[in-house]
Chain A
C-alpha cells in the first residue's frame, strides 16, 4: 500500500478547519503552484495522467488544455452533485477535508486562468455544504480566495451553490443549466463546455476527487504521481463499497489492485456466509460483473475490457440471497424517476422498462418480453443528448444477458402462481363490468 494521498489524517479532529489543515502542510502546494508558470503546472497535471474521477474517466490535464488561452471570462466548476447510486466518496472528503478541495480548485483556476469558480453541491448534502461554506469563508479571510491571491495578480471568487435534488444535474451540461438558474436539462454537445460552458464562456468542470488530488500532484510532481497505480490508470482512487458487505464505506486504494481484495479484503465480503452473486463496479450505471470477474484488476482499462466501467468507483455488491429481478426493477425505477424528459428514448424507454419488469414480477410476462426489453435498451443507447438513458440500459441489459436463466425461471414461476389462482367458476357478480350500474 502506498501512502494515502486523500485520506491521510482524514479522521484527525478539526481537519476541516484552516488551522489544522495548514498545520498538516495545507496550502503549500498552492504557494508552490503560484510560483510556477501556468504551463508548467498544466504540464505536471498532464504528466500525472490522472483520469477524471467523476465517471467518464477523461484525462484531466487534457481537458484543462482544451480551454482557450487569453483574457476572456473563464469559469471553473466543481461537480459535487454526487448522486450516482452507491457513490459517497466526495461526501466524506468534503465533510472532513474541505480545504483540500478548495486548494485544488484555486490551483486549477490559476492553471486555466479562471477568475470565477463555483462548487455545485447536491442540496441533500446540507451538512457538507455548510462545512464547505465555512471553509471558503476561512480561505477568503486568509487571502487564498479573493483579489490578488497571496500577492500575485491572480483573482478568484469562489461560491458554493446548492442544488435541489436532481440526479441529472451531475451531468456536466445539465449542471451548467442548473447553475444558470434553469431546469437541469442537458445541452447538445458539441459545443463542449471547454469552449462554451457556463454563461457561454469557456468552462472547466471536474469532480471533487479529481480537484482534491491536484495539491498532491503539484506537491509530488506529475511524473512521481504517475508511478502510483497501473499504466493508463494512475494514482489512488477512493472507492465506495456498499450493499451486501459487512464493512461498507470509503477506501483509498491504489488503482490496479484485485477487485477481490477490495470486496472481500477491505469491505469484508457478504455477511452470514453468503456468496457474491454480482456487483456493479462503478455505480448503478455500470454493467454488472459476476463472481467470476472478482479477480480482475480494478482499474479503468481492465473494467472497460470486461464490458463494464470503473465509473465513479462505487462498488455495489449483491449477494446470492437477492433476486436479480428486484435489483433490475430498483435500478430502472431510479432512472425513470430521474430522467429529465428532454429526449424521448430515455423518457419513454425508462418508463417502459419499469413497466415490463413489473409485468415480470406480477406474472404477466413471457420470455419473449426479455427480447423486447433488450431491444428497448438497444434503442436508447446512443440516441439521447446525455447518457442517463444509457446508464439504465447498460446495467439492465447486462443483467438480462448474464442472468437470463434466472429471469426466465422467475417468469415461469410467477405465471404458474397466477395460473393456480384461476378457476373454472364464474366470476362474482360484482366484478362483471356494468353489473354495478
Chain B
C-alpha cells in the first residue's frame, strides 16, 4: 500500500526533520579561534570564565561553566557570546557549539526568560504530569516570555507531579493551582511557597523520631 504523503506532516522543504538543512554556509571555512584584537569581550564575562578555567588542569573543562555564563548574560548561547567565550578560552566557536548542542540546559536558539520545565517521566506521569503539562500550555499560551517544556526525570519524584520553575523545584502542583503559578511567575513572586522543595521535611519516620 502506498503511503499517502498528505497524511504525514512535513516542513516547507519537504522533510519531516526540522532544520536538517539549517547548516552554515558550506563554502565558508570553519571559524578559527577568535582574534582577541577584533573580539571585544565584556570585562565581567572574561573574569568569570577565567575564574572557571583556573579550577581545572585543562582549560577545556570550563566549557560548560563558560557557556552557562554566556547564557546568563545573553539569555541563550548567542553566536556573539559563544565567540567571546571561545576567544577567552582559546578554542574554536565550533568546539563550544558542539558541546552546547549535546546538553538540554544549554540553549542554541532564543528561548523565553522564564524556565518552566514540567517533569513527565515515569513517576510524575503516574501522578498526572501529562495533564499538568497540558494545563500549563493552556495557561501560558504563546507568551514568548516563557520557555515551557517537558523534561525527563528532574529527580524529585517525591513531590510528583512537579516542575522546575526558574531553577526552583515546586510540587506537587494541582491542576487548579496552575493559574496561580503562572501569575506568580509573571509577577516575579515566589511560586507556591509552601510547596517549595527547599522547605520540605524528610518523610522517613525514623529520621523524624531521632
Could you list which residues of chain A lie within 8 angstroms of chain B, going by C-beta atoms?
1, 3-4, 7-11, 73, 82-88, 91-92, 95-96, 116, 122-127, 157, 159, 161-167, 178-184, 199, 240, 242-244, 247-252, 266, 280, 284, 314, 316, 318, 322, 326-327, 330-331, 334, 337-338, 340, 431, 433, 436
Residues of A within 8 A of B60 (CB): 180-182
Nearest-neighbour CB distance to chain A for B72, whole angstroms, equals 12
Nearest-neighbour CB distance to chain A for B185, whole angstroms, equals 16
Kindly supply a per-residue 1/0 record for chain B positions 155-180, scoring 1 wherever the CB is within 8 Å of any chain A CB and 0 otherwise: 11111100010011100000000000
Q: Is the CB of A240 within 8 A of B99?
A: no
Give bound CA distance, A294 to B33, whole Å: 59
Closest B-chain residue to A436, C-beta based? B6
Q: Is the CB of A334 within 8 A of B167?
A: no
In-complex Cβ contact of B4 among A122, A182, A431 (8 A): A431
Give bound CA distance, A88 to B208, whole Å: 19
Give bound CA distance, A116 to B54, whole Å: 13
Q: Is the CB of B123 within 8 A of A247?
A: no
Q: Is the CB of A249 within 8 A of B202?
A: yes
Nearest-neighbour CB distance to chain B for A155, whole angstroms, equals 14
Q: Is the CB of A88 within 8 A of B58?
A: no
Q: Is the CB of A166 within 8 A of B102?
A: yes
Give bound CA distance, A266 to B204, whole Å: 7
Pairs A-B, 10 closest by C-beta atoms: A249-B203, A242-B157, A165-B104, A164-B103, A181-B60, A181-B63, A165-B105, A85-B153, A242-B123, A126-B167
Q: Is the CB of A252 within 8 A of B126?
A: no
Residues of B within 8 A of A178 (CB): 64
Q: Is the CB of A248 within 8 A of B157?
A: yes
In-complex Cβ contact of A183 among B2, B98, B154 (8 A): B98
Quick check: is B121 within 8 A (CB to CB) of the other chain?
Answer: yes
Give bound CA distance, A247 to B200, whole Å: 13
Q: Which of chain B's residues 24-71 have a Cβ closer than 8 Å to chain A? A: 55-65, 67-68
Q: A7-B207, A127-B198, A433-B4 are in contact. Are A162 and B157 (CB under 8 A)?
A: no
Closest B-chain residue to A92, C-beta based? B202
Q: A86-B122, A126-B167 are in contact. Are A251 and B204 (CB under 8 A)?
A: yes
Give bound CA distance, A10 to B208, whole Å: 8
Residues of A within 8 A of B13 (CB): none
Residues of B within 8 A of A284 (CB): 121-122, 153
Give bound CA distance, A62 to B6, whole Å: 61
Nearest-neighbour CB distance to chain B for A119, whole angstroms, equals 12
Nearest-neighbour CB distance to chain A for B56, whole angstroms, equals 8
What would 17 A/B residue contacts be, using CB atoms closer than 8 Å?
A1-B206, A8-B210, A83-B152, A85-B123, A85-B157, A164-B67, A178-B64, A180-B61, A181-B59, A181-B61, A182-B63, A183-B99, A242-B123, A251-B204, A314-B157, A316-B122, A334-B153
Q: A180-B58, A242-B160, A251-B203 are in contact. Are A337 and B122 (CB under 8 A)?
A: no
Give bound CA distance, A82 to B155, whole Å: 7
Q: Is the CB of B122 within 8 A of A7?
A: no
